[in-house]
Structure 1
């Protein structure tokens, strides 16, 4: 879950409180009341921003919930051709991805997967590098991007935002999602969607 905006709320409230204390201190020392115009403007802006952010987060969470249900009901599995995998552990890892969709967990780590496979995280990295020439994140993100592409091309997902689709595929932030998608496909999710809408 992205908590950066909660930290900004805390900072903003702290600044407002400090400003209020300074105003009261000025009144106490000099006996003059300073105008509260700036304070009320700041409070109003903050409240509007908070409402917008709350609605935005609610919409995003609601979209993710609906996408999750669509994926469960349709049992859409992620399939990437890895039939020539020589490592039994990589095959087991791929099976976890295709059957249990573990890559949709944004907190998925090398340690979690290694524990499921009964091997060390270092050995898992070694196997991924030897067989596929990639690290853990690159391997998992390849499947996440494949899922995103599939959802973008599926009319059932047209009403959902690209960010909600990316987050439900397992990315933990907008930046990571957009950067990884562009690295894998050579275009942004928006460009990918537009290209395929024009060609269909």
Structure 2
């Protein structure tokens, strides 16, 4: 019974893995060069998991379960890391030689497939164990490059290091399963390895790919706005300096010039510190002169910035959540609820309204 449940779980994870791998190269939201290599990597590891878990000996699929795919996986995953950190190695002529072990093993396995000999087991043992060291080398090398990359944001670096660490854990279990198999002739660690690899598909689906893509889109939006103008896209608010206090005037200047509202962690204390006053007095003066709370004041700027982005067709390709993150909202739910409360419609409905010819 337990084995049947485990079989079902691995099959389900396999379908999820294949679904994600195809979605990465066919869906506009995810489609980019880096995700093309992640798609190949996920496809390969899903295939290795399914082929390794279910008996495929003495079938045409046995060739696929040989170490050939493991060598290709090592390079595609390493390439994914290089593209994400925009490393100069991608432009080096020697980079393509990383595919050489895959080509060599492919030739060897093809020869073994058609010309059986007494050395087949020895060849498999050597290529299988060498693939472990090749994967280990490239994964740890990739981790080192990610840590040293000066151009990657903290959020992206955190995701890449987490994905890299997951594969390090898989490598350790792979090593333990090999030791267990050759010394104790059992496969408990092997079973755990396949469960871990199956879990990878779900983890990438629910956390990794989607969250990382939001970060990438947010960075692209920010870079575009920065390149187009160093000034705020906000409409400058007319301030009546005769009736507004000095603090309110300075507050508007901070929002318009420095765009403090785009910081999702902006607090009342942060604003009070910048204005050289205390939190209580700041809340009191905003309430008295503007008849609103600090959070309402900040969110008005965020909503106005979101409206500008949603109105601009340049940003139609970006998700609503990425736009919400760019203007300073912590989460999708907060962005949606605040936007709807302010305008009486969702961000999606507002975007569709802007796309109409008569809008």
Normalising by the smaller structure, the TM-score range is 0.7 to 0.9
Provide closer, same or farther for how the CA distance between residues 118 and 59 of structure 1 changes in structure 2, counting only shifts above 3 A: same
Distance change >3 Å, CA 182–CA 45, structure 1 → 2? farther
Cα distance in 2 for partners of 1:191, 1:40 equals 46
- How many angstroms does 1:81 deviate by? 2.8
1:103 to 236, 246, 261: 261
Count of aligned pairs between the two proteins: 171
1:70 aligns with one of 213, 219, 224: 224
Moved over 3 A (4+): 39-46
1: CA distance between counterparts of 2:221 and 2:256?
A: 17
Which structure 1 segments of 5+ residues have no match?
A: 7-38
Aligned to 1:185: 343
Counterpart of 2:285 (choices 108, 114, 127) is 127
Change (3 A) 1:127 1:42: farther
Is the 8 Å Cα contact of residues 233 and 308 (structure 2) preserved in structure 1?
no
Cα distance between partner residues in 2 of 1:80 and 1:110: 22
Q: Deviations over 1:124-182 (max 9, x none)?
A: 10111011111111100000000000000112211111110011100001111111001
Q: Any conservation in 2 of the 1:78–1:97 contact (CA below 8 Å)?
A: no
Partner of 2:334: 176
Aligned equivalents of 2:314, 2:224: Cα separation in 1: 8
Structure 1 length as normaliser, TM-score? 0.76
Alpha-carbon distance in 1 for matches of 2:287, 2:293: 6
2:254·2:260 contact (CA, 8 Å) conserved in 1? yes
Partner of 1:49: 202
Counterpart of 1:138 in structure 2 is 296
Contact 1:103 1:144 in 2 (8 A): yes
Q: Distance in 2 between matches of 1:154 and 1:42?
A: 46
Following superposition, the deviation at residue 50 of structure 1 comes to 0.9
3-state SS of paired residue (2:339): helix
Rounded Cα–Cα distance in structure 1 between residues aligned with 2:238 and 2:280: 21
| 1:86 pairs with one of 244, 247, 251 | 244
Query: Alpha-carbon deviation of 1:88?
Result: 1.4
Please give the secondary structure, in 2, of the residue aligned with 1:79.
coil
Bigger-Rg structure (1/2): 2
Sort the Cα spacing of 1:141 and 1:80 in 2 relative to 1 into closer, same or farther, 3 A: farther
> Against the structure 1 CA distance between its residues 117 and 195, is the aligned structure 2 distance closer, same or farther, given a 3 Å change threshold?
same
Shift of 1:195: 1.5
Q: What TM-score do you get using the length of structure 2 for normalisation?
A: 0.44
Q: Is the 8 A contact 1:86 1:131 kept in 2?
A: yes
Deviation per CA, 1:2-29, whole angstroms, max 9, x where unpaired?
A: 9xxx9xxxxxxxxxxxxxxxxxxxxxxx
Structure 2 residue runs without a partner (length 5+) = 1-153, 160-191
